[in-house]
């Protein structure tokens, strides 16, 4: 099981049994493609463009708009699987970089 949150205030988070990692949205090169794919699923009668939070669960995606009437939900299987997989892989890359940067900083602090 995996949950991904994309927060309107500028962070994205992935949570699973093995990981709980959060990074600034500016750190991602693939986030825009995911958000664009999600926005493309917006029903015609929904007016929202800006999101408060986007939650990607195993079975559904919730687009929580800043305005309540702009929110919508659809099945995760309707997302572009390649775009989502690339985004998830980028989380792993960013987490590894953050860990390496933290270890480098810790070594420098000991000197």
pLDDT digits (tens, 9 = 90+) for 79-105: 999 999 999 999 999 998 888 887 554
Task: Give the E-state strand segments of 1-111 in sequence order.
Answer: 2-7, 11-16, 20-24, 51-56, 60-65, 72-75
pLDDT digits (tens, 9 = 90+) for 52-71: 999 999 999 999 998 878 89
- Domain range for 98 is 2-110
Q: Which residues of 73-82 are buried (b: 16+ CB within 10 A; e: fewer)?
A: eeeeeebeee
Q: What share of the chain is helix, strand, coil (3-state, %, to 5)?
A: 45, 30, 25
Please identify which residue in the block is written with the tokens 């990981």: 19
Task: Give the E-state strand segments of 8-82 in sequence order.
Answer: 11-16, 20-24, 51-56, 60-65, 72-75
Number of domains in the chain: 1
């Amino acid at each position: 099981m995996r949950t991904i949150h994309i927060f309107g205030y500028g962070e994205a988070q992935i949570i699973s049994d093995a990981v709980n990692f959060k990074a600034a949205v500016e750190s991602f090169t693939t986030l825009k493609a995911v958000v664009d794919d999600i926005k493309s699923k917006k029903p015609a009668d929904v007016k929202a463009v800006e999101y408060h939070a986007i939650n990607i669960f195993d079975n559904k995606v919730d687009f929580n708009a800043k305005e309540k009437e702009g929110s919508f939900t659809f099945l995760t299987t309707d997302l572009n699987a390649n775009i989502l997989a690339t985004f998830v892989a980028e989380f792993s890359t960013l987490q590894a970089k953050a860990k390496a940067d933290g270890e480098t900083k810790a070594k420098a602090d000991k000197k």
